[in-house]
Amino acid sequence: MQAQEKPDGFFVEGAGRVPGGVQLDPQGDHRLAMSLALAGLAADRPVTVENAGIISESFPDFPAVLRSLGANISTR
């Protein structure tokens, strides 16, 4: 999976599922952190989004909303 920054956002490109068992770094971008977390939901194994606390910048209830939808996520 690769992400490319654009002036008004970013473009994420990947082929198939995220294999899981990986640590992904959103480089301080709350939008990318949420996108990586969502991609991780479809992974074959657990995915760790490093520095995911940045998500609270724009969507503090993101983990709770995902859990309410049945997602199995944990936060530290």
- Indicate the pTM of the whole model: 0.80
pLDDT score of 61 more than 70: yes
Question: How many domains, the chain?
Answer: 1
Could you tell me if residue 55 is inside a domain?
Answer: yes
Segments forming the whole domain that contains residue 51: 20-68
Q: What does the alpha-carbon distance between residue 33 and residue 26 come to, in Å, rounded to a whole number? A: 5
Rounded to 10 degrees, the C-alpha dihedral 47/51/52/53 comes to 150
Mean pLDDT of 58-66: 95
pLDDT tens profile 2-49: 778 888 877 878 777 777 888 989 989 999 899 889 988 888 898 999
Backbone angles phi, psi at 75, to 5 degrees: -125, 155
Give the β-pairing of 2-6 and 9-13: antiparallel
Q: What does the alpha-carbon distance between residue 58 and residue 43 come to, in Å, rounded to a whole number? A: 24
Could you tell me if residue 74 is inside a domain?
Answer: no
Pick the more confident residue, 20 or 54: 54
Could you tell me if residue 57 is inside a domain?
Answer: yes
